[in-house]
Amino acid sequence: MLYVGIDVAKNKHDVTALNVPGKTVLKPLTFSNNKAGFELLDLSLRQLNQDCLIALENTGHYAFNLLNFLHEQGYKVYTCNPLLIKEFAKSLSLRKTKTDKKDAHGIALKLLSDPNREQFQHDNRQVELKILARHIHRLKKNSLIGKYNTLVVLISSFLSWIKSLESIQNIPTNS
């Protein structure tokens, strides 16, 4: 079993893989945040000829396409809170050096050493549910704004109608 850590960024990602004793079996590799980069990652992992568990920081939308790709390829993926990764990295070393390659190594090491890793297993359904909930919230908000705007127009029309009635009532009659 291999433990793969991916440091996610906007345009590129860094990855490394460790075996069970914690030895690096995939030297740090940088790949772009697009389909060609994802395919390079997949090819690199498949060439190792071992099952892989993959972990990455839960950085929101930067990792969205990568997570979908990894799930489509059948990988077991874990997402970790960046604060947990940061604290874990602090516990490993007193040095404050921070690079994307070291972060990827730290993420892989955290995955390897965490007996509770299952709680961080990524589920695309949960992400899709979150997206749908936000969309529903947006629709409700827009509906409320639409109702408010309609009410403003109705009140304005009603007030102008009342003014026109008042002006009709004030017209002198020739009797």
d(C-alpha 42, C-alpha 103), whole Å: 20
Q: Where are the domains of the chain?
A: 2-122, 124-175
- Decide if pLDDT at 35 tops 90: yes
In this structure, are strands 2-8 and 52-57 parallel, antiparallel, or unpaired?
parallel
The model carries a pTM of: 0.67
Of 22-26, 45-49, 116-120, the poorest mean pLDDT is in 116-120
Contact by Cβ (8 Å): 56, 7: yes
Contact by Cβ (8 Å): 16, 99: no
d(C-alpha 167, C-alpha 59), whole Å: 64
- Decide if pLDDT at 175 tops 60: no
**Residues 102-158 pLDDT 10s:** 888 888 988 888 777 766 777 777 777 777 888 888 888 888 888 888 888 999 888
Give 46's pLDDT tier (boundaries 50, 70, 90): very high
CATH says 2-122 is which class?
Answer: alpha beta
d(C-alpha 53, C-alpha 4), whole Å: 6
